[in-house]
Amino acid sequence: MAGILAWFWNERFWLPHNVTWADLKNTDEATFPQAEDLYLACPLAFCIFMIRLVFERFIARPCAMGLKIQANGPQKAQPNAILEKVFTAITKHPDEKRLEGLSKQLDWDVRTIQRWFRQRRNQEKPSTLARFCESMWRFTFYLYIFTYGVRFLKKTPWLWNTKECWYNYPYQPLTVDIHYYYILELSFYLSLLFSQFTDIRRKDFLIMFLHHVATISLIIFSYVNNMARVGTLVMCLHDAADVLIEAAKMANYAKCQILCNLLFAMFAILFISSRLGVYPVWILNTTLFESWEIVGPYPSWWVFNLLLILLQLLHSFWSYLIVKTACRAISKGKVGKWNPLHVSKDDRSDIESSSDEDDSPPPAQKHHSSATNGTNKNHGTNGYLTGVPYPDEH
C-alpha cells in the first residue's frame, strides 16, 4: 500500500519541475492546499443530502402545495396479470412480435397494449410534486453558491487578469474563502453523484454521470496541485446557467408557461454564450496558453487540461441539443404553446414523459378498442399542446 501511495502521489506527476510536496507544507506564514483537506467533503456530502431531505419536506413541499402542485402521479394502468408478468419479468418495451402475441392472447388490439405498457412505465415515474421539490433544492443551492462565488471573486485579482492564476505558482497561499468554496462545491457534487441513482431517472443519465465524474475530478485535481484560482473561475462560470434551468423547471411544474418559456430562453442564451464563448476564450485560453507561457507543462497539467477539454465537448453536445430543441419549436410554428422542458435533453432539464396519445384506460375487449384509436395525440404532461412526440417513448 505504501508503494501504491508513493506511486500515486509522485511529485513528478502532480507538481512542476523542481517542486516537491515538502515545499507546499503548511507553515506559520502560509497555508497551502493539502490532499487530506478533501476528506472533509465525504461526511459533508452526507450532511448536504440530509439537509436536502429536510429542505424538500419542510420548505419545498409547502411551497409546491401553495402553488397547487398536486402529489398525484400518472394515471395507473388497468390491472392485468399477464401484462404485469411480462412487464416485470421480461421487458418494459415489448417488440412488435411480442405485442402481436399478447394481442391474440388477450383479444386486445396492439395499440391498446402499447398504451397499457406506456401507462405502466409512467406509474414508476415520480409525481410533479417530487420533481418540483428536487428542482427547488438545486435552485436554492446553485443560487447560494453562485452568489457566494461572485461576491468572493469580484475582490480577487485573477477575475480581472487571468494571468494572476499563474504568477508565483504553485506557491499561492490558500485562503479561507477558497477552501470553503472548494469543499462546499465538492461535497455538493459528491452528493449529486450518489443521489443520481435515487433521483428522478433521466434519459441523459450516463452523460450526467460522466459530467459529475469529470467535475469532481477537476475539483480534486485543481485543489491538490494548487490550481485553485482558475478552479474558482470554472466553478462560478458553470453555476450561473444552472440557476436559470432549475427556475425554468419550477415554473414548468407550476404551469406558469410564459415564465417557463422566458426562463428557458434566458438559460439557453446564457448557457451557449458562457459555455461556447466565455469558457474557451477565458478559461481554456488561460489554462492552455497563459499557464504554458508562465509555468510550463508537466504531467498533471496535461490531465487537468484534458478534463477541461472533455467538459467543453459536453458543453458542445448540450448546446447542440438546446439549439435543436429551439429550432424544432420554431419550425412547428407553435412557440407560444410549446414547452421546451418537455423535450430538451440539456444538462439540467427533465425529460417530461408523456404519451403520443391519451392515457384512457384500455378496454377489456378488442372490439371496444377501436373507439380509442382516434383520440387526441398531443396532450402533454402539464396540459400544454406540444405538437411533437416525446423522446422518452421513442
The continuous run of DSSP H or E covering 340 comes out as none
Among 106, 124, 142, which residue terminates a domain? 124
CATH number of the structural domain spanning residue 95:
1.10.10.60
240 & 155 share domain: yes
Same domain, 254 and 281: yes
In a domain? residue 363: no
In a domain, 376, yes or no: no
Position 272, amino acid: I
Whether residue 320 is contained in a domain is answered as yes
Classify residue 361: in a domain, yes or no.
Answer: no
Do 264 and 325 share a domain, yes or no? Answer: yes
Using CA atoms, how far residue 292 sits from 4, 280, 283, 297, 305, in Å, is 30, 16, 13, 6, 11
* Residue 24 counted as domain residue: no
- Same domain? For 227 and 86 the reply is no
What is the C-alpha R_g of the chain? Answer: 25
Q: Are residues 216 and 322 in the same domain?
A: yes
C-beta of residue 240 within 8 angstroms of C-beta of residue 274:
yes
Give 199 or 355, the one with higher predicted confidence. 199
Q: Which grid cell sits at 179? A: 477552501
Among 92, 108, 124, the domain-final residue is: 124
Give the single-character DSSP code of 58.
I
Rounded to 10 degrees, the C-alpha dihedral 345/346/352/353 comes to 20
Query: Is position 340 within any domain?
Result: no
How many alpha carbons fall within 13 Å on the CB side of residue 83? Answer: 27
Q: Is 287 helix (H, G, I), strand (E, B) or coil?
A: helix
Q: What is the sign, positive or negative, of the torsion defined by CA atoms of 336, 337, 339, 340?
A: negative
Q: Is 54 left (phi over 0), alpha (psi -120 to 50) or beta?
A: alpha
Q: Which of 129-143, 198-212, 314-328 has the lowest mean pLDDT?
A: 198-212
Choice between 2 and 159, residue whose per-residue pLDDT is larger = 159
Assess whether 101 and 238 both reside in one domain. Answer: no
Same domain as 185, residue 91: no
Judge if 205 and 92 occupy the same domain.
no
- Domain stop point among 313, 333, 353: 333
Residues 260 and 241 placed together within one structural domain of the fold: yes
| Nine cell digits for residue 127 | 409525481
Does 85 lie in the same domain as 227?
no
Please state the separation of Cα 150 from the chain's center in Å. Answer: 21
- C-alpha cell read off for 88: 416485470
Q: Which of 106-120, 339-353, 364-378 has the highest mean pLDDT?
A: 106-120
Return the H-helix or E-strand segment holding 3: helix 2-8
> Domain count of the chain?
2
Same domain, yes or no: 146 and 200:
yes
DSSP-H helix ranges across 163-256: 176-195, 205-224, 228-253
Q: Distance between CA atoms of 38 and 45, rounded to whole angstroms?
A: 11
Residue 39 lies in a domain: yes
Tell me: the pLDDT tens digits for 327-362?
Answer: 887 776 544 444 555 544 333 343 333 333 334 444
Q: Is residue 3 part of a domain?
A: no
Residue 119 shares a structural domain with residue 136: no
Domain span including residue 322: 31-66+127-333
Confidence (pLDDT) at 340? 55
pTM: 0.77
Q: Which range among 65-69, 72-76, 326-330 shows the weakest confidence by mean pLDDT?
A: 72-76
> For residue range 168-198, what is the model confidence (pLDDT) as tens digits?
999 999 999 999 999 999 999 999 998 888 7
